[in-house]
Structure 1
């Protein structure tokens, strides 16, 4: 009972304060169920009991389940079922107490924490943006397993509950009060428990939950109500369109929510448990928990950041007012970083600032920004054509065209603007940072900062360490990326780094499938079924075939300059074979009027009917082979990057692949995908693909052995 402080006042109200010993937050650890059972035993035996208040001694209310325990679960067993049912039974016992029970929510109440609140008769929350409530389990490949699906559906009705169940949406106090997830808001922490006790005294008869009262009706109608039945049908179709059948958790949540309205309440809780334990052992849950919880936690906490004092840029210069430079300037201004947007022509620089104005207008249209906020943001962007004063700039971001001679000139010309402790970042996507650093006086302060397009939506930056980049510069770059609200992924220098290498294999595999004789529609469908956001042929059109060709030729010129023959993109043979011929035909991509697709005046696209000319034969590529080729090709290239030391950790490999490249999120990232399949099983399937389709799928056994035996790089 040391985790639960039990105090009874003179008026018979017991306050139970959760204070899990030895940890920063209250969680459903191994001590939780026995402790809660003991609390219930004592409450049920308490003489003169008039009410119960649940509070927290932590800065948050209750964080929910212990994800380490869930991650360790390997199979759904009777023991797991019994354990979950025992924990849920304590919540049900609270509901059956003959006195009102109130949750005094001082901070975040998520997952099992909010499920505790749902089992209370009344919920009071502190008016703080940090005091969010919700059931985010779906984002971790799970469903709320302590009654959350059943109770929230009964509390709000199916329609209102669905965004919070199927999307894991979290509600701040005002929203939570409006939709009915909480019942009352107080302004200070000191008011919480007094407000809870006051409500108990005023509502002594409110001990019975709505769903336990005779004649209870679901808000908005039950499962057979015509409007609800129609909503269920539409929701099922929309859910499949969104998940593609790759995420079991949302489907099971909808199943539990709908069927809970058709059965006895306690039977519904039991059904929820069965669905929950099935998800606990799933590879999708393992992937989501490993990557989106523990992985994100590692990045946000700076686990891969060099130690040292935190650094904050006070001003910035962005060189080049094209789409990338304009997007970076907007990202700066949005987070309060004053930025000069420099171009050779003032008209271009002004146009670059106009890009931010358009984004502001869109945000205003969606109610996310007001006119004052727009004016303040735009005031932070200053279009210029001349260098800033020498030694006056904290960070310079070079975002000119991907041409090494141009970059060399720009870096040398603009370096004097940098302050003595400032850093210089190049937004190159493939050119080696160590070579570009030769153009600056102090290569220790030069680093790669690779943003992704469109910058306002792609919230990740690939930080590339050159041979002479100092750890201090890396630390500052890491802090800068987080300062502007983006996710830093740190990689070591190489041709194409990490993201461009892997992204290139995705587009090339689309071309390989085309050359093998697969129908273009089937190629795009295979990518959709694999979970990729966009098919490889459409991606190529958006990136532009001409840009890909220019990048390749830039590296050929670099090889000549260095007197070497690099292997950058050497497996991407189909890209050269197909796109060079298409460019000769005047098909350079969407911005050039057409590529793999034709585009009408309204921008509607249809696959170019002449793509069949690139097939060498009429090979019958099975759809599952196409899906595997698309996924395995990217996973294998990611594995090579990890083995070569381009990538430092599995966490960055997984998160970088998902957020920068679009590797399917349900896998947890490329390396997690390999682990989820099982290293030996993945190796066997890769061998099959290599035998059938080529050595680009071949990986030495030693690499697999190291991956299987060494988890040290899993951050």
Structure 2
């Protein structure tokens, strides 16, 4: 029988619909499923509106999916009859709740949905791939991580996270699928935070430490842009979602407590049910279309910043020094990259792609790379910061 790859995306929340949108814009049809039919319907409308795609209720052949499902097709894809002689290999991308027990139960169940061995992937940004695979009884060797970054459409890389039992053929299919989405596949080892989240955690935490130490959100945004990031770290937290950012940051902090002192601001936002862009309120207020309403912090976050005002490492002397804050951001991520490379989680080339394709970094100098920029400023600007701010763990 001829072989074809078909994509089943399970989970129609904010991230799931972003992944579905990215597939359709890349010309790839996808079956989208969710246990909540109302959530699925809302996601379908949102995806089709952004992509001008089409939807139908065609059943996924070679699979028995016991939850609500819809077939999404990109604009320009001609209707084509189902080839009943071509039983597809299903590539499952899971984007459900970021809880280990929930994901383990899901993959133990989903193994039985297909008449032919599927390829199973999780979009987790925080959970150990090997622990999820340990709950699988049939296909643990056909399982790996496939981690997309937010905003999915604007990021040109995805992490492929393998565990010791992942088949080489499965890795090859996943990497080829990522390339088909016009993204670079970043193969990394199963380590806390993988690469992108591990780089991101000290950067986002530092931004919140600075905010609670009295620096303005405007200074933090200006410094991030000067450093080469596409948006403020506070806006990025809102885009990811404070809950997801908290989960990811906690994994990194608990695994590497010598690398960062977690700010109390993010868990306080989670307790207040501030959902970021998805809920219309986070560090900033947002309109229904996700556009930030203004430059002022939301009233709720301003109150929390006042409540948790503290200076963990002597940030009071910084004031509105945008170049200095930009160098602090650079130094924190550079130090984390050194630790990642030293332990073999990823090589320097992969880290470079993670910065550009995963985080949207663009070096201030024309035609420079992230690594090139770090090397250019390391001796004169980055290394002295560790002595100047000895209490800032992420610089040591």
Q: Residue 477 of structure 1 aligns with which residue?
A: 174
Match of 2:108 among 394, 412, 433: 412
Q: How does 1:633-712 map to 2 (within 5 A)?
A: 633-647=332-346, 649-666=347-364, 668-677=368-377, 680-681=379-380, 684-691=383-390, 693-698=391-396
Gaps of 5+ in 1: 1-310, 362-373, 557-564, 699-715
In the superposition, relative to structure 1, how do residues 338 and 588 fare at CA in structure 2: closer, same or farther (>3 Å)? Answer: closer
Query: Does the Cα contact within 8 Å between 1:542 and 1:591 map onto a contact in 2?
Result: yes
Query: Does the Cα contact within 8 Å between 1:338 and 1:380 map onto a contact in 2?
Result: no
Q: Which has the larger radius of gyration?
A: 1
Give, in whole Å, the separation in 2 of the partners of 1:423 and 1:590.
Answer: 32
Query: Does the Cα contact within 8 Å between 1:589 and 1:595 map onto a contact in 2?
Result: yes
Q: Give the structure with the larger helix fraction.
A: 1
Q: Deviations over 1:575-602 (max 9, x none)?
A: 3x22233444565534445333345788
Please say if 1:546 is aligned against 2:235: no
TM-score, L = length of structure 2: 0.79
How far 1:632 moved relative to its partner? 1.2
Q: How does 1:274-293 map to 2 (within 5 A)?
A: none
Match of 1:595 among 282, 287, 290: 282
Q: Residue 40 of structure 2 aligns with which residue?
A: 349
Greater RCO (Cα-Cα under 8 Å, separation 6 or more) = 2
TM-score, L = length of structure 1: 0.46
Query: Does the Cα contact within 8 Å between 2:362 and 2:369 map onto a contact in 1?
Result: yes
In the superposition, relative to structure 1, how do residues 616 and 549 fare at CA in structure 2: closer, same or farther (>3 Å)? Answer: same
SS at match of 2:149: coil
Q: Residue 426 of structure 1 aligns with which residue?
A: 122
Give, in whole Å, the separation in 2 of the partners of 1:341 and 1:623.
Answer: 44
Q: Deviations over 1:658-693 (max 9, x none)?
A: 221233334645433333335x556633533553x4
Query: Does the Cα contact within 8 Å between 1:635 and 1:673 map onto a contact in 2?
Result: no
Please say if 1:567 is aligned against 2:255: yes
What is the root-mean-square deviation of aligned Cα atoms in Å? 3.3
Q: Residue 197 of structure 2 aligns with which residue?
A: 500
Q: Deviations over 1:532-584 (max 9, x none)?
A: 2111222223323233334567x59xxxxxxxx95256644243x22233444
Query: Does the Cα contact within 8 Å between 2:117 and 2:139 map onto a contact in 1?
Result: no
How far 1:392 moved relative to its partner? 5.0
Query: Does the Cα contact within 8 Å between 2:21 and 2:153 map onto a contact in 1?
Result: yes
SS at match of 1:401: coil
Give, in whole Å, the separation in 1 of the partners of 2:47 and 2:283.
Answer: 31
Please say if 1:578 is aligned against 2:265: yes
Give, in whole Å, the separation in 1 of the partners of 2:374 and 2:208.
Answer: 24
Q: Deviations over 1:30-71 (max 9, x none)?
A: xxxxxxxxxxxxxxxxxxxxxxxxxxxxxxxxxxxxxxxxxx
SS at match of 1:395: strand
In the superposition, relative to structure 1, how do residues 603 and 461 fare at CA in structure 2: closer, same or farther (>3 Å)? Answer: closer
How far 1:519 moved relative to its partner? 2.9
Match of 1:386 among 49, 55, 66: 66
How far 1:643 moved relative to its partner? 1.4
Query: Does the Cα contact within 8 Å between 2:151 and 2:239 map onto a contact in 1?
Result: no
SS at match of 1:456: helix
Q: Residue 194 of structure 1 aligns with which residue?
A: none
Give, in whole Å, the separation in 2 of the partners of 1:392 and 1:474.
Answer: 18
Match of 1:512 among 202, 209, 218: 209
Please say if 1:318 is aligned against 2:9: yes
Q: Residue 604 of structure 1 aligns with which residue?
A: 293
In the superposition, relative to structure 1, how do residues 469 and 682 fare at CA in structure 2: closer, same or farther (>3 Å)? Answer: farther
Gaps of 5+ in 2: 70-83
Q: Residue 531 of structure 1 aligns with which residue?
A: 228
Q: How does 1:56-455 map to 2 (within 5 A)?
A: 313-361=4-52, 374-375=53-54, 378=55, 386=66, 393-418=89-114, 420=116, 422-440=118-136, 441-455=138-152
SS at match of 1:665: coil
Give, in whole Å, the separation in 2 of the partners of 1:386 and 1:581.
Answer: 38
How far 1:646 moved relative to its partner? 1.1
Give, in whole Å, the separation in 2 of the partners of 1:460 and 1:318.
Answer: 18
SS at match of 2:152: coil
SS at match of 2:125: coil
Q: Deviations over 1:72-120 (max 9, x none)?
A: xxxxxxxxxxxxxxxxxxxxxxxxxxxxxxxxxxxxxxxxxxxxxxxxx
Query: Does the Cα contact within 8 Å between 1:426 and 1:450 map onto a contact in 2?
Result: yes
Q: Residue 74 of structure 1 aligns with which residue?
A: none
How far 1:421 moved relative to its partner? 5.7
Q: Residue 627 of structure 1 aligns with which residue?
A: 326
Q: Residue 77 of structure 2 aligns with which residue?
A: none
In the superposition, relative to structure 1, how do residues 581 and 386 fare at CA in structure 2: closer, same or farther (>3 Å)? Answer: closer
Query: Does the Cα contact within 8 Å between 2:126 and 2:247 map onto a contact in 1?
Result: no
